Chain A
Amino acid sequence: MSMQVSMTVNGEQVTEEIEGRTLLVHFLRDQLRLTGTHWGCDTSNCGTCVVWMDGEPVKSCTVLAAMAGGREVRTVEDLEQDGVLDPIQQGFMECHGVQCGFCTPGMMMTARALLDRNPDPTDREIREAISGQICRCTGYATIVRSVQWAAAAEAAFEGRS
């Protein structure tokens, strides 16, 4: 039942042998050793496994690696570029958006996608965007603040405020 799959992961073309049933989250973590993406509930509830597929956040525990064939996958490892943290990462540091850190990769990937579509989200819009994700430290208030920090930082950088 083994097969070959090729996809772009964080801008690099990869080709690997997989089983048809291999889930994207395990492919990323176990085969590519990209362990920044976390593996949580396995039932598409907790959202710590969120990565981007063709620019959209998806729960990688509920996507087959084979289904990602030919597509572009982006993981949390790609947020930092050339040693410079993404404003989202910076915001999570500044505003204590990380407690135990388990939900963090998924939260940050969803937040990055939100700000790309909506650079100035309201508190409610941020909460809606992360509503498919669970922080079991219940640190939602600081996560929302972290995303707001990032939005403000990007607005300042681009001279929008």
Chain B
Amino acid sequence: MQVPAPFEYERATSVDHAIGLLERLGNTSRLIAGGHSLLPMMKLRLVNLEYLIDINDLHDELGYVRLARGEIRVGAMTRHRELLESDPLAEAFPIFRDAERVIADPVVRNRGTLGGSLCQADPSEDLSAVCTTLDASCVIRGSAGDRVVTMAEFYRGPYETAIEDNEMLIEIRIPVRAGGSSAYEKVERRAGDWAVVSCGAALWMDGDLISDARVGLAAVGPNTTGIPAISDALRGKAPSEELFEQAGAIAGENCSPQNDMRGSADYKRHLANELTRRALRRAVARIGGQAR
């Protein structure tokens, strides 16, 4: 039987209350949202705490997808199922629905949250790759107020983020730019598993030329990685199979996969290459309205 080590359970009734508790309990405490990453880690005694602060009552406050000027704001407690079912989100960023369809399973998606996924900072985590691809930023709140960090600043290494012990992630902001689309491709060993490799692509067109493009890879490095060299290679060019091939090659070269039970490093490089091509192809087709 797997059970966590003993801890004291606290339930936060508001964001301010949660931050107050974190302020008081410091690094002996952790927030729990859906709990589908944290509880398994606690059962394996990889995480041991004195206090667990349940923030599920903050869903009313932090569960939302809001259209703001020039960006979409998603509350950190928004659950996977809500992200999957959000039409405004899928319309602006089809990559979200692509990814949510292949994250865990429907029952797990009833509980897991966007904020929890990002804070887990697992190198194979799909929404981290999505947010990296979309150049999202993270709003982190502490008793002194809010600060906003980029995804690159947010990740400090596997399972490590920029969030201090007395802070919490409250919102993800994703810039909306006209003329673009996005897609997500994932290879997994079985339905609902972690990625062997997955790849997000977002692309914006100005007439016949690519004005900007971003690719984010998961499971091929210490954190999900955006690859600036691909953006440089694609900008100002017309989309073509040769160009996607070039981008795929850059992805294969610019990642650092490891041999593990999910596959060899060589196989993962091959996947990074192939999935980059597929994701870019699909994103471009979506701009032209040729694919869903």
Known: A69-B11, A132-B105. Is A62-B6 also a contact (CB below 8 A)? no
Chain B residues with Cβ below 8 Å from A100 are: none
Contact yes or no, A62 B111, CB < 8 A? yes
User: Which listed segment binds B: A16-24, A89-97, A141-149, A150-158?
Assistant: A16-24
Contact yes or no, A58 B39, CB < 8 A? no
Majority DSSP secondary structure for residues of A touching B: mixed
Contact yes or no, A131 B6, CB < 8 A? no
Contact yes or no, B35 A63, CB < 8 A? yes
Known: A1-B6, A62-B40. Is A57-B35 also a contact (CB below 8 A)? no
Known pairs A21-B5, A110-B107. 7 more at Cβ < 8 A?
A20-B6, A20-B8, A42-B1, A44-B108, A58-B107, A62-B35, A67-B32
Q: Tell which of B8, B36, B56, B110 touches A1, judged by Cβ atoms closer than 8 Å.
A: B8
Task: Show 10 residue pairs from A and B whose CB-CB distance is below 8 angstroms, ordered by the A residue.
Answer: A1-B7, A20-B7, A20-B52, A50-B107, A57-B107, A64-B9, A67-B54, A69-B11, A131-B191, A132-B106
Total residues of chain A contacting the partner, CB 8 A: 29
Contact yes or no, B36 A44, CB < 8 A? yes
Question: B47 to nearest A CB, angstroms?
Answer: 12
Contact yes or no, B107 A19, CB < 8 A? no
Q: What is the CA–CA distance of A128 and B106 in the complex, to the nearest angstrom? A: 8
Q: Which residue of A lies closest to B52 (CB)?
A: A20
Chain A residues with Cβ below 8 Å from B36 are: 44, 59, 62
Contact yes or no, A66 B2, CB < 8 A? no
Question: A133 to nearest B CB, angstroms?
Answer: 8
Counting chain B residues whose Cβ lies within 8 A of the other chain, the interface size class is 20 to 34
Question: What sequence of 0s and 1s flags, for each residue 63-95 of chain A, a beta carbon within 8 Å of any chain B beta carbon?
Answer: 110110100000000000000000000000000
Question: What sequence of 0s and 1s flags, for each residue 170-192 of chain B, a beta carbon within 8 Å of any chain A beta carbon?
Answer: 00000000000000000000011
Question: What sequence of 0s and 1s flags, for each residue 113-124 of chain A, a beta carbon within 8 Å of any chain B beta carbon?
Answer: 000000000000
Question: A64 to nearest B CB, angstroms?
Answer: 7
Q: What is the CA–CA distance of A110 and B54 in the complex, to the nearest angstrom? A: 25
Contact yes or no, B9 A3, CB < 8 A? yes
Contact yes or no, B1 A67, CB < 8 A? no
Q: Tell which of A21, A110, A129, A132 touches B6, judged by Cβ atoms closer than 8 Å.
A: A21
Is B46 on the interface with A (CB-CB < 8 A)?
no
Q: What is the CA–CA distance of A56 and B52 in the complex, to the nearest angstrom? A: 23
Is B4 on the interface with A (CB-CB < 8 A)?
yes
Q: What is the CA–CA distance of A132 and B109 in the complex, to the nearest angstrom? A: 10
Question: A127 to nearest B CB, angstroms?
Answer: 9
Is B17 on the interface with A (CB-CB < 8 A)?
no
Contact yes or no, A58 B2, CB < 8 A? no
Chain B residues with Cβ below 8 Å from A56 are: 110
Q: Tell which of A59, A67, A132 touches B56, judged by Cβ atoms closer than 8 Å.
A: A67
Which of B7, B40, B107, B192 has the largest count of A CB atoms less than 10 A from its CB?
A: B107
Q: What is the CA–CA distance of A22 and B8 in the complex, to the nearest angstrom? A: 11
Is B24 on the interface with A (CB-CB < 8 A)?
no
Chain B residues with Cβ below 8 Å from A1 are: 6-8
Contact yes or no, B40 A66, CB < 8 A? no
Is A47 on the interface with B (CB-CB < 8 A)?
yes
> Which B30-57 residues sit within 8 Å CB-CB of chain A?
32, 35-36, 39-40, 42-43, 52, 54, 56
Chain A residues with Cβ below 8 Å from B110 are: 56-58
Chain B residues with Cβ below 8 Å from A23 are: 3
Q: Tell which of B4, B56, B106, B111 touches A21, judged by Cβ atoms closer than 8 Å.
A: B4
Q: What is the CA–CA distance of A42 and B6 in the complex, to the nearest angstrom? A: 17
Question: What sequence of 0s and 1s flags, for each residue 1-32 of chain B, a beta carbon within 8 Å of any chain A beta carbon?
Answer: 11111111101000000000000000000001
Contact yes or no, B108 A131, CB < 8 A? no
Is B229 on the interface with A (CB-CB < 8 A)?
no
Is B104 on the interface with A (CB-CB < 8 A)?
yes
> Which A12-35 residues sit within 8 Å CB-CB of chain B?
19-23, 26
Question: A132 to nearest B CB, angstroms?
Answer: 3
Contact yes or no, A21 B105, CB < 8 A? no
Known: A66-B54, A132-B105. Is A20-B35 also a contact (CB below 8 A)? no
Q: Which residue of B lies closest to A55 (CB)?
A: B110
